[in-house]
Amino acid sequence: MDYISILKDISIYPGISGHEQNLAKHIAKIFKKHCENVEIDEFSSVIGFKKGKPGTGKKVMVSAHIDEIGLMVKSIDDEGFIRVSNVGGVDSKVLLAQEVVVHGKKDVFGVIGATPPHLLKPADAKKAVKMEDLILDTGLSAPELKRHVSVGDVITFKAEPFALGGNKLSSKSLDNRAGVVTLIGIMDKLGPMRHNYDTYFVASSQEEVGLRGANICAYNIKPDLAIVIDVCHGKIPGVSKEEASILGKGPVISVGPNLHKEFSRGLINMAKSDDIIHQIDVEPGNTGTEAWAIQVSRSGIPTLLVSIPLKYMHTVIETLDMADIKNAVKLIAEFITLLGRETEDFVCC
């Protein structure tokens, strides 16, 4: 499977939280190549299904969110400048001089303006720019702009994926399109492999604004086990090894009260016995992922979290190592084949 081509394709697709409809349709077409059944729910989450061993009656849900952070048109002034609000965790410090696309009646290209340093007062030069002070310039006059753009339209960042050295890829929206590509890889790998559990692949919506799509899907599917795939912070200078994981050293298996103790131990033991490169992360509280919502869905769902290390999260230059995706695919696909079988390490119910 050409992981990098698929990731480049879906990373540039717009899909801000609450506006994932077109992206969901695009991902559903890819899912249909690997799944027996695919549907899109009312909240634009995509659910693919692969049948397990007849008579088992057990279900596993593997989830990765498709939505991205972005901006929304807050107002348009008389000179044609747009004021913006954030959708999800956008840091205003990274927005200056960014290229963007305003998704109105038609797509309109623009830039987020920055006051030149020559015109800044010394005191202002040291201040962080606030979201409400940013202006978006499309080059159009107010009457022209208002023919195509309205208050409430969403804005995505204009960024093309590009390769870096050492098998690295940089792009916007790798959080969490990397997880979606991992889902697709697992589907493909499970094709010739025998697995006992019915497997549901969920490309979920609205994670960045409240873990909503996964919560809804977990309630509807009611799985016996959920495996969440997301990204975690990659190691960069100035960040301790306790706060970040190393790119290229494998997917990260989280342990903590949000994650099921026995299944987590079984996943780690399997990775060790099969020589699948991996890392361990301690999450003593809220993981900040869909695992937090899924764990307490209905009467409680055993949940695991596997993450892809990612540098520069929530920017347009998010960076990862493609080898970590491939190893995550291998890790989770092989684990799914063990579900429902007694092993030396643990017993799956």
- With H, G, I as helix, E, B as strand and everything else as coil, classify residue 121: coil
Say how far apart CA 41 and CA 33 lie, in whole Å. 19
The CA distance from 166 to 158, in Å, is 25
Mean pLDDT of each 10-residue bin along the chain, 349 residues long = 96 96 97 97 97 90 98 96 96 92 97 78 75 93 97 96 96 97 97 91 97 97 98 94 94 97 96 97 95 96 98 97 98 96 53
**Domain architecture of the chain: domains with CATH:** 3-68+172-338 (3.40.630.10), 70-157 (2.40.30.40)
**CA 86 to CA 132: how far, in whole Å?**
10
Place of tokens 């205003």: 92
Residue carrying structure tokens 């800044």: 120
One-letter amino acid of 281: D
Pairwise CA distance, residues 222 & 225, whole Å: 9
pTM: 0.94
**What pLDDT is attached to residue 56?**
85
Residues with Cβ within 8 Å of residue 296, at least 6 apart in sequence: none
Q: How confident is the model at residue 122, as a pLDDT? A: 76
> What pLDDT shows up at residue 347?
45
CB 170 within 8 A of CB 157: no
pLDDT at site 54: 86
Spell out the long-range contacts of 293-297 with Cβ–Cβ below 8 A and sequence spacing 24 or more.
Answer: 293/211, 293/212, 293/214, 293/215, 293/218, 294/61, 294/63, 294/214, 294/215, 294/218, 294/226, 294/228, 295/226, 295/258, 295/259, 297/215, 297/218, 297/219
Predicted local distance difference test score (pLDDT) of residue 128: 76
Predicted pLDDT of residue 342: 61
What local confidence, expressed as pLDDT, does residue 115 receive? 73
> Annotated catalytic, 207?
yes
Q: Hey, what are 179's tokens?
A: 């997880």
- According to DSSP, the residues that pair with 309 across neighbouring strands are 232
From 20, 207, 208, 290, the catalytic residue: 207
